[in-house]
Structure 1
Amino acid sequence: MTKEVNVEAEQQQRKDYADPPPAPLLDSGELRRWSFYRAVIAEFIATLLFLYVAVATVIGYNKQAAVDSCDGVGILGIAWAFGGMIFILVYCTAGISGGHINPAVTFGLFLARKVSLVRAVFYIVAQCLGAIVGVGIVKGIMKHPYNTFGGGANKVAPGYSKGTALGAEIIGTFVLVYTVFSATDPKRKARDSHVPVLAPLPIGFAVFIVHLATIPITGTGINPARSLGAAVIYNEHSGWHNHWIFWVGPLLGALAAAAYHQYILRAAAIKALGSFRSNPTN
């Protein structure tokens, strides 16, 4: 048994990566640091820009398609707008706030103890406010087409049940949050990983792919701030109807992704207990 412990300790010393310590649950000290407020502002601005570009693309496409069904960027273009903006904004803000831009991502990272409760709450509030302002700018610039073509609000498409929509949101958010965990895993810096990666790229591609799959079902939420911002500014029954799906689905998807990555792939529970291995002769 002693030999096994020594071997394991030697392997730990040879690791060329380090897992950061868990974030404190309540870190009131963050409230006294400018870097914390800078990160909150970065989340606000990033979510504002994300919603402005993404919703403007949706409204512009709907306006063009109403004139000519073959005109406009189409679903592929909308998916690229969402995925491309996430790639750009995560790249720009990752070093400041972590580049969450999504309450579901923040929630998943909080569950994994990557951020404190204080930071998670401030981020989610900033993201929601940024989304509302971003969509508000779209309405101010494109008021008539915005009101005419649904305001970019998420809703369950005709022919799909609420259960199907909820499932689509859960699975879509799982893909996104799982990608976030994998792309930012400290182990990727290890020499033996052989997977050098620019984290914003797979995250942006995850958003792109999920949009291709779920735009026909829900318009693709996977981001409660995105859904809330559009619903608040559009403020019609169709925008609020079944709005709960676009909170419950992403939060459940984030929960599942955090549990899968932390407790299955990274075996956090096993590490906490020491190991499943035991020596019956000891």
Structure 2
Amino acid sequence: MLIYRRIAVGGVSEAAQPAALKAALAEFIAVLIFVFAGEGSAMAYNKLTGYAPNDTAGIISASLAHGIALFVAIAGSANISGGHVNPAVTFGAFIGGHITLFRGILYWIAQLLGSTIACLLLRFCTHGMSTPAFTFAAGVTVWNALVFEIVMTFGLVYTVYATAIDPNKGSLGTIAPIAIGFTVGANVLAGGAFEGASMNPAVSFGPALVSWAWTHQWVYWVGPLIGGGLAGLVYQIIMIGHTDHEIIVPTSEY
């Protein structure tokens, strides 16, 4: 199949290339910005409400914070790294042949570090408040949450492909950051009250590590990676099809 011929491993030497290191730094900063705002909004809401359970105001504030922060994070890194800001997006791009394996691993390391540093900074700035890890609402099973994460991340990565990666996107690429931010914000409204609506393993990893709360952490990795990988396969094979464009190494494009 075409998709397997497109996948590229790359080489260890990529980790030493200035362009790759600059792209990794851009991913680190972008995820730090995104998690600091998103996780910080949850901590602020907890402080204002005395750790009240999820309610309408909390879900709406989380949706706005994550949607706006992701828009800013992508816009600020798109011209350098492609603005992935999410290991699931990086994985989906790899599956479609738009980033090499070694550059993808470099992105993953940077993304996880960015999330961890953001949570450590939040803990310092709030005098030791815990960084809330993702959890399930009462009655939600791991399979419910897993399907939520798969479906929501599929929609997210499909939007990334449609507005940012597709070589035929044309002027649509200019709205990619806001379209992707809106997708995440809408998904938070849909799934936030049930299982947190992560769609991003880095967003789940930082709070879990800093608070040392690993319950069901695997769901927030497996679900997004399956959803992102499926979106990459579907869009690359069916929507883009047998194009001959080369593997994208992000420079001036998303």
- Tell me which interval the TM-score lies in, with the shorter structure as reference length: 0.7 to 0.9
2:144 to 146, 157, 164: 164
CA–CA separation in structure 2 for the residues paired with 1:196 and 1:166? 30
Aligned equivalent of 2:63: 79
| 1:260 to 2:241 alignment | no
CA–CA separation in structure 2 for the residues paired with 1:218 and 1:44? 26
When normalised by structure 2's length, the TM-score is 0.87
CA–CA separation in structure 2 for the residues paired with 1:67 and 1:173? 28
| Counterpart AA for 1:81 | A
| Counterpart AA for 2:28 | F
CA–CA separation in structure 2 for the residues paired with 1:253 and 1:51? 21
| Counterpart AA for 1:187 | N
Q: What does 1:135-174 align with in structure 2 at a 5 Å threshold?
A: 135-144=119-128, 146-147=129-130, 151-174=131-154
Q: What does 1:166-245 align with in structure 2 at a 5 Å threshold?
A: 166-184=146-164, 185-189=166-170, 197-235=174-212, 239-245=213-219
| Counterpart AA for 2:64 | W
Q: Cα distance, 1:57 vs. partner?
A: 0.3
When normalised by structure 1's length, the TM-score is 0.79
Q: 1:31 to 1:242 in 2, by over 3 A?
A: closer
Cα pair 1:64 1:72 within 8 Å, conserved: no
CA–CA separation in structure 1 for the residues paired with 2:23 and 2:81? 4
CA–CA separation in structure 2 for the residues paired with 1:68 and 1:44? 32
Gaps of 5+ in 1: 1-20, 273-282
> Greater CA deviation, 134-143 or 240-249?
134-143
Deviations 1:234-274 (A, max 9, x none): 11xxx311110000000000111011101122234xx69xx
**SS of residue matched to 1:226:** helix
Aligned equivalent of 2:19: 35
Q: Cα distance, 1:66 vs. partner?
A: 2.1
Q: 1:53 to 1:202 in 2, by over 3 A?
A: same
Q: What is the identity percentage for the equivalent residue pairs of Structure 1 and Structure 2?
A: 34
Cα pair 2:112 2:205 within 8 Å, conserved: yes
| 1:102 to 2:100 alignment | no
| Counterpart AA for 1:153 | A
Q: What does 1:46-125 align with in structure 2 at a 5 Å threshold?
A: 46-66=30-50, 74-125=58-109
Cα pair 2:46 2:52 within 8 Å, conserved: no
Tell me how large the CA RMSD over aligned residues is.
Answer: 2.4
Decide which structure has the larger Cα Rg and report it. Answer: 1
Q: 1:189 to 1:157 in 2, by over 3 A?
A: same
CA–CA separation in structure 1 for the residues paired with 2:92 and 2:170? 22
Q: Cα distance, 1:24 vs. partner?
A: 3.8
| Counterpart AA for 2:208 | A
Q: 1:186 to 1:73 in 2, by over 3 A?
A: same
* Larger RCO (CA within 8 A; separation ≥ 6): 2
Deviations 1:84-137 (A, max 9, x none): 111011111100000011000000001111001110000001100110110111
| Counterpart AA for 2:14 | E
**SS of residue matched to 2:50:** helix
